[in-house]
Structure 1
Amino acid sequence: MRYLLYADQNYAFQILRPLQSEILARGGEAAWLLAGNSVSARHIRDGEILLDGAARAVEWKPDAVLVPGNMAPAFLPGIKVGVFHGFNVAKSTRGQARGHFNIRDCFDLYCTQGPNTTEPFRRLAAERGHFEVVETGWATLDPLFSGSPPARPDDRPRIMLCSTFTKSLSCAPRLLDTVRRLSRTGRWHWTVQFHPKMDRRICEAYRALQGDHLEYVDTDDIIPYLRRADAMVCDTSSVMYMFMAQNRPVVTFRNNSAGERAHLLDVRDPSALESAVETALTRPAGLMRNIDAWLAKTHPYRDGRSAARVIDAVEAFRAVPPALRPKPFNLLRNLKERAKLGYWWP
C-alpha cells in the first residue's frame, strides 16, 4: 500500500514517523506532502520521500492519507485517516464542539487514543454515519516505550518546562523569573521546549538562560527529551499528557482543563512552584494512583505497538470498506485546502 504523510506543522514529523517506520517495515511505500508556510522541508531526513506539491501527490495515487490535524484535502486520493496532533486538553473555556471532537467532515477513519476519545467519536460516528472509528493508541508515543532511554550526563533530577503559545494560558512568561532563580541553584537540570507558535520574545528570554543547569531546545522530535525527564512543569498544553503517559508527574501552573484534575499537581502562584516540583519528584502514592487511573482512560497502551494497530486498521478498512454515508461537500473548506496547497484542478 501507498501512504501519504500529510504535514502542515513541524510537529507532524514526530507524529507521523512511527507510522512511516511501520509502513516501510511491512514493505509499503510512504511519501510526505508538506502543506502551507508553517512546515519546513529542512526536517525531511535522508531516505525519506518528499513529493513536490499537491499535483505530484495526486499523481502518486496514495491508498491512504495520514493526517495529524483536523482537515484533510478532499481531492487527494485514498482513505483519509485522522491520527490526531495531541491529546484532548478539554480547556474549560471551550465547548466540545471545538478542538478534539470537532468533526469537519474530512475523514473516513479516526484512529483514537483511548476510551475517553473513542467513546465520544463512536457516538459522533453513529450520528454522522460517514466515518469509522478504531481505537489504536497514539502512534506518536511508540518511541516512549521502545529502546533504551537516552543517556543522562549526571544524576541530578531533570525537569522539563513546556508551555502553550496561547497568551492567556501560557505559563512561560509568568514563570520566567522563577525558573531563572531555580536554574541558578543547580539542584535540578532544566530542559525548556516550547510550541513553534510561541512568542519569539519569550523564546529568546529563555534561550538567554542557557548554561550548565538549563538547556533550551528547538526540535521536531520532543520524545527523547520527554524520556529523560523526571517531572514536567506545564500549563494547559497537551504535551503534558504525552509526558504523563510514561507514568510520571506533571506540575501545572494555573491549569485550565475542564473536569477532574487529580492527576495533576496544580499551583496558582509562582512562589509555590519549587515546593510542588519537590513533591512531584517524590512520586507520592496518591498522585501516582490518580495518574494510573487517568492513563487507563486516556492512553492504556504502553507496548509501543500503536503504529501497528493504526496500519492494521487502515488495511482492514481498505480490504472490507464499511458501509458509510457520503461525506458532506464542504465547498469553503475544500477551497481553503486547495488554496493552501496551490492546487485548483481537478
Structure 2
Amino acid sequence: MSDKLEKSKKEYRYLFYVTLSYSFSILRPIAEQITKQGAKFAWFVPQGAEAESYLLAEDNRLIDVDAVMAFAPDAVLAPGNYIPDFFPGIKVQVFHGFDSGKKNKFNIRGFFDLYCTQGPNITQAFKQINDGTCEIVETGWGKLDALFNPHPLTASYRTAAPLILYAPTFSPKLTSTYSLLPEIKSLLKHQAWQWLVKLHPKATAEEIAMFKALECDKLRFVETAELIPLLQAADVLLSDTSSVLAEFALQQKPVVALNNRRPESWMIHFTQASDLKENLELALNCPPQQLDKINAHCHAIHPLRDGKSSERTLAAINWLIDKGTAHLKAKPLNLRRRLKMRKKLNYWKF
C-alpha cells in the first residue's frame, strides 16, 4: 500500500463539507497538513447548520454552491454518510467515529470515491462489501493525531479528584441521558468525584437543560467542538452506545457503558442505571486483566498511534486525485438521495 501513500508533488484545492460541529475536530488536522503543503482549502457549511457557529473568523467559508463551483475543488471531504454528488472533485469519506454497534455502520452508499479507514477492523469490513465503486485505504484517523500528543487545553479540565467524563449518544433508543440523570445527581451529593458532561451536538434542548441544571462545583457542562482535551483530562469515560468509547479507550483508560447495543469485553458494561456507582468504582480501580482487553481492542481499531494519520489521509487523497476515478465502477443512481441533497442546498443547475 506504500505506493498509494507517496506524497503528490502537485498542489490541489480541497473542500470540507460540514454540517455538524464534531466535523471540525476531524478535519482541522487535515487542513493543517494542506497548509504545510502550500495548497488551498475552503469550508462549505450550509446556512443554518449546527456547525455554523463553530467556524473561525479566519476560515475561508464558501457561502453557496455557486461559490463551490467557482472554487473547483479537486477533492471534497466529509465525515458524514452523505456528500453532494454534484460538487466537483473526488469525494472522500473520513468518518465521524469508530464502529459503535449502530445499524448501517458499514455501508457503501455510492457517494464516495475514497474511504480513509482507521484500522484493520473497519478496513476489512469495508473491503468485504466493496462493489468496485470506491477505493479503501487504511490511513488512521486524523482526529486522533492530537490524542497522542499533549493538548494545550487539557490542563484546564484536570482536577485533583477522580474525573469522570459523561458523553452519551443522541439516539433516542440508545441514549442513557434520562436513565442516568437521577443517578448522577445522587453521586454529586455523596461522592467526591468530579464530572465533565459533553452532550452530542444532536442532543435535544430538554437534555441540554437537564444537565445544565446539574452544574455545580463538582460538575462542569461543556459545550465545545474540541473533544480531545476532555478525553485526555478524564480518568474514566461513561457513555452508552457511542463511538467515543473507543476513542477514549485508545489511551488505555477504562470505559463504562450502560446498555450498549453491542457490549464487548473491553468495556465495563452494565444494564441497570442503579448500578452506576459500583461500575464507576470498578473503572477507577481498573484491574490489569481489563486493561489487557482494552489494549487488544485498540490494536484492532487503530494501531497507527504515531500522530501522522492526517498526513497519510492527505497522501491517499492526492494519490487518487493523480490516478483519477476512471478505473472505478459506475455508482448506483440513488436518485432520491441525490435530489434530496439538491433540495437541501437549493441547487438545481445540471
TM norm structure 1: 0.93
- What are the residue-to-residue correspondences of 1:196-235 with 2, within 5 Å? 196-235=201-240
Partner of residue 78 from structure 1, selected from 76, 89, 94: 89
Q: What whole-Å deviation, never above 9, does each CA across 1:45-84 have from its counterpart, x for those lacking one?
A: 1321000111111110001000111111111111100001
Q: What whole-Å deviation, never above 9, does each CA across 1:157-191 have from its counterpart, x for those lacking one?
A: 11000111222221111011111111233511100
Structure 1 spans left out of the alignment, 5+ residues:
none
Residues 7, 39 of structure 1: 8 Å contact kept: no
> 1:46, 1:209 → 2: CA distance?
32
> 1:22, 1:267 → 2: CA distance?
41
Equivalent position SS for 1:41: helix
Shift of 1:328: 2.4
> 2:243, 2:127 → 1: CA distance?
22
> 2:309, 2:88 → 1: CA distance?
24
Partner of residue 265 from structure 2, selected from 262, 265, 283: 262
Residues 36, 340 of structure 1: 8 Å contact kept: no
Q: Which residue identity does 2:37 align to in structure 1?
A: R
- Correspondence for 2:277: 274
Partner of residue 325 from structure 1, selected from 326, 329, 344: 329
- What are the residue-to-residue correspondences of 1:173-184 with 2, within 5 Å? 173-184=178-189
Matched, 1:16 2:9: no
> 1:74, 1:168 → 2: CA distance?
31
> 2:243, 2:212 → 1: CA distance?
22
- Correspondence for 2:113: 108
- Correspondence for 2:3: none
Q: What whole-Å deviation, never above 9, does each CA across 1:200-254 have from its counterpart, x for those lacking one?
A: 2222111111111000111122121111001011101112122112221111111
Aligned length: 336
Q: Which residue identity does 1:316 align to in structure 2?
A: W
Equivalent position SS for 1:101: coil
- Correspondence for 2:175: 170
Shift of 1:37: 3.9
Return closer, same or farther for 1:108/1:208 CA change in 2, 3 Å cut-off: same
> 1:59, 1:89 → 2: CA distance?
38
Partner of residue 33 from structure 1, selected from 32, 38, 44: 44
Q: Percent identity?
A: 39
TM norm structure 2: 0.92
Q: Please report the RMSD computed on the Cα atoms of aligned residues, expressed in angstroms.
A: 1.6
Partner of residue 289 from structure 2, selected from 286, 304, 308: 286
Q: Which residue identity does 1:87 align to in structure 2?
A: F
Structure 2 spans left out of the alignment, 5+ residues:
1-11
